[in-house]
Amino acid sequence: MAGREYSLTPQVVPPVETAHRRIHTPLPVPESLPILERLHRYEPRSMRGQPPIIWARAEGMYVFDSYGNQWLDWSSGVLVANAGHSHPLIVEAILRQAQSKLLHNYCFPSEIRAQLVEKLVELAPPKLTRAFLLTTGSETTENALKLCRTYGLRRGGRKKITFVTFHNAFHGRTLGAQMAGGIPELKEWIVNLDPNIVQVPFPDGFRCPDTRFELFEESLAAQGLRPSQVAGVMLETYQGAGASFAPVEYIQRLRAWCEEHEALLVFDEIQAAFGRCGTLWGFEHYGVEPDLICLGKGITSSLPLSAVLGREDVMNLYEPGSMTSTHTGNPVCVAAALASLEALFRDGLIENAARVGKVLHRELQALHRRFEKVIGAVHGKGLVAGVHIVRPNSLEPDGDLAFRTVERCMHKGLLMFSPVGPGGATIKICPPLCTTEDAVREGCQVLAEALAEVMEEEPK
């Protein structure tokens, strides 16, 4: 977000009252300022930067404060609430597990953990027969790096340790995850970057117009690397910063390349899995199967839990007790995950994401045509989209216009997290999977109004 912060000066805006949105007070709400000021006083500055509303509760596809305001949610709480906020099945499962008096059990066996790992393996591609439960997405990408390196060492010794990722990728905020990421600004604090973690261009067709698979091979060669040195390749199924997918043929050739050179293929599905792209797994759009999958966010639609799914020969590289986690398979979080999976299938939310997603992308393409001077591209599938905002008739990101548009949407009752991606200029759209066609159309109308108003205010 490039350090942008929202003003805490309440702004009076016209009231909003629709089926999906209700705003009738200045924002930020004056009564909320003491809470915001306390957060600013006691938290690091890095925690600022999201729209300054005080969440009191969230249900389905809506977020509410304590002052009578209601927002249509296009954030899913940063792509977590796939089944919808506070889904009754999930709430009931959390309460039931908490009342059972088992809140934590480390790596000691539990029946509920057995249920979840079995369920995840049943849903995964056939060759992925092991599931390792963790807490955060960053842990899963760190674990994938560790497993790829170990696999490479066993196969080719210290000459086979290179880990390949992509430009503009985001894989988390821990040391290894940020070295694996492809955003240079996030690595400025790392004094000694691992020379055997390298990036290549991501073929999104927009920031990188060259979508040939040969570019992957050429980029490795330009860095002095031979295929035999590569232990693993990891990519976000879609690049989270822009909801950008690679061409299907590119990924299929990458799958074949990894098999030819005994490198593991890892999909970071932390944002893409559990129906977000209109399919259970986002990588289904490519028609390939990975060797490892990193999961998180939407796995519970609520509580902190993540997982790595993988091949038995890879997941079993470490001896008992040497690859564990303090909160692995926390019973309450596992209960939420089982309930979230049940909700996805019982309520037809994956199919709904595919169906409503078509409406969303049709509306956004119309928006693209209307504002073609400042919308460089619209990417995504299912219920995730990235609206790439640029300076007029250029490819240069316009973070200020994107930020002010998201802020204006907040005042109109449409909630998104702050823009992401290069220059903080991509407006990310990711409603809960229970959202409706009517709500999507209304949200797109609000986005169009906000963008038009903000552009009108631009200096001529």
Q: What is the pLDDT along the chain (460 residues), one digit of tens a residue?
A: 457 999 999 998 899 999 999 999 999 999 999 999 999 999 999 999 999 999 999 999 999 999 999 999 999 999 999 999 999 999 999 999 999 999 999 999 999 999 999 999 999 999 999 999 999 999 999 999 999 999 999 999 999 999 999 999 999 999 999 999 999 999 999 999 999 999 999 999 999 999 999 999 999 999 999 999 999 999 999 999 999 999 999 999 999 999 999 999 999 999 999 999 999 999 999 999 999 999 999 999 999 999 999 999 999 999 999 999 999 999 999 999 999 999 999 999 999 999 999 999 999 999 999 999 999 999 999 999 999 999 999 999 999 999 999 999 999 999 999 999 999 999 999 999 999 999 999 999 999 999 999 999 987 5
Domain 16-83+348-457, CATH class in plain words: alpha beta
Is 321 buried (19+), middle (13-18) or exposed (0-12) by CB count in 10 A? Answer: exposed
Selection from 372, 420, 447 nearest residue 239 by Cα: 420
CATH number assigned to the domain covering 88-346: 3.40.640.10
pTM over 0.95: yes
CA 231 to chain centre: 25
Q: CB–CB of 404/11 below 8 Å?
A: no
- Give CATH 3.40.640.10 domain extents, the chain: 88-346
Residue whose tokens read 């993988």: 310
Distance CA 277, CA 266 (A): 18
**Residue 450 amino acid letter:** A
Quote the strand ranges of 85-219, DSSP E: 128-134, 162-166, 197-200
274, two tokens: 């559990």
Q: What is the pLDDT of residue 1?
A: 42
- Give CATH 3.90.1150.10 domain extents, the chain: 16-83+348-457
405, two tokens: 């548009």
Distance CA 443, CA 452 (A): 14
